[in-house]
Amino acid sequence: MRISELSEASGVPVATLKYYLREGLLPPGESLGATRADYSEDHLRRVRLVRALVDAGVSVAEARRVTEALDDPPRSRHDLLGRAQYALPAPHAATPVSDEVTGLLADLGWVVGPDSPALHSLSGAIAAARSAGVPLPTDALTGYARASEAVAAVDVSNVPTDDLASALHRVVAGTVLVDPVLAALRRLAQEHVSSRG
Amino acid sequence: MRISELSEASGVPVATLKYYLREGLLPPGESLGATRADYSEDHLRRVRLVRALVDAGVSVAEARRVTEALDDPPRSRHDLLGRAQYALPAPHAATPVSDEVTGLLADLGWVVGPDSPALHSLSGAIAAARSAGVPLPTDALTGYARASEAVAAVDVSNVPTDDLASALHRVVAGTVLVDPVLAALRRLAQEHVSSRG
């Protein structure tokens, strides 16, 4: 399809598509001459992902890191989640991993690589919450972790098994874009649980 | 304490504290003369909350709505979670509540007020994820919802029972600042669950 058709199919203006192309968020189309190019269904899928990432508050630089990871498909299913983890935006990257987080994971019996960016994110997020007066005792963190296992089980069971490139796309998009779904469900569940109490 | 001491105790620069005062994010101290004011532990707690909200990506206008809700304590514990819900930033406020979301909550047996802002957030977040190629079938949404009940049970059990103003502070801060803790735990749990598979 032409860039005008890609715009119509995605709902993203042509000027924005040209910006994505310049910024490397969207690979170039197949050239049909000096000023024309042909775009595929893969381009449409990529545009929708980039748009959703940006709408979810991911910066252009972070979105580029995510799409670069997608352009280099994983070699194995085992490589898949690692690749996605390390491509995704990770807040508090500069926060050292706390002994508390290391101990929590050991108590949970979780097998996680020592370089996982989420170890820093978790350490930093716990410190930020406590500094604002949210105490987060060990039993609360353990309760949240067990609930997160149930979330991750749903995540992992919904990764497609057909091809690795599709699976990586799904994991990356699903991780970033399901966070707001979970945040909304948590607020509704709070209202429900407190109405029962 | 003086504003310089409030700055030292909170780690927030005096110029930023003055900005918070001008923007109504921090109530004025008790006047000790034309150019001096006295700040309490309540001010310190408020500064830490505002700083944490802003660091978590909440806009100044949204933070003001949150703090306004805190300045008008709830009349009952039942009023507490409702007050917090309606004060908190809610994405996708303009998205209509979908029939799917209404049906999901009915199937779950959740009791939620028809005006809850999270109904709009959930409808919008599901639509955004799907537009980027994350399918979210009913059984996945149900699985996420059951896990969210477990999260909310931890949330509700950690609300202090002493006074309603403290409880509201905790619910508001906990809701916004535990979301990043849960996001990090989800990523670690994904790695753990997929390593077992």
Model confidence pLDDT, tens digit, residues B80-123: 776 777 778 788 889 999 999 999 999 999 988 888 899 999 99
Q: Domain B1-72: which CATH class?
A: mainly alpha
Distance from CA of A151 to the nearest CA of B (A): 6
Judged by CB atoms closer than 8 Å, whether chains meet at A152 and B180 is answered as no
Q: Give B-chain residues touching A179 at CB under 8 angstroms.
A: 179, 183, 186
Residues in A touching B151 (Cβ below 8 Å): 143-144, 147, 186, 189
State how far residue A126 is from chain B, nearest Cα, in angstroms: 6
Q: What are the two backbone dihedrals, phi and then psi, of residue B155, each rounded to the nearest 5 degrees?
A: -55, -55
The answer to whether residue B162 scores a pLDDT higher than 90 is no
Between residues B79 and A111, which one has the greater pLDDT?
Answer: A111
pLDDT confidence tier of residue A59, bands split at 50, 70 and 90: confident
Burial class from Cβ neighbours inside 10 Å (0-12, 13-18, 19+) for residue A180 reads buried
Q: What integer pLDDT is reported at residue B197 of this predicted model?
A: 54
Residues 6+ apart with CB under 8 A from A124: A91, A92, A95
- Whether the pTM exceeds 0.95: the reply is no
Identify the pLDDT of residue B195: 75
Token pair in block for residue B149: 């009940």
Averaged pLDDT for residues A52-67? 82
Residue with the larger pLDDT of the pair A60 and B5: B5
pLDDT classification of A77: cutoffs 50, 70, 90: low
Q: Indicate the burial class of A131 (C-beta count within 10 angstroms; 0-12, 13-18, 19 or more).
A: middle
Domain ranges of chain B: 1-72
Q: Which CATH architecture has domain A1-71?
A: Orthogonal Bundle (1.10)
Q: What is the pLDDT of residue B95?
A: 94
Distance from CA of A51 to the nearest CA of B (A): 8
- 3-class secondary-structure state, position A27: coil
> What is the structure's pLDDT at B53?
83
- What amino acid occupies position B134? V
Angle between helix axes B164-196 and A138-157 (nearest 10 degrees) is 50
B7-39: pLDDT as tens digits: 999 999 999 999 999 998 999 999 888 888 999
Q: Which pLDDT score, from 0 to 100, does residue A78 have?
A: 64
Residues A148, B130 contacting (CB under 8 angstroms): no
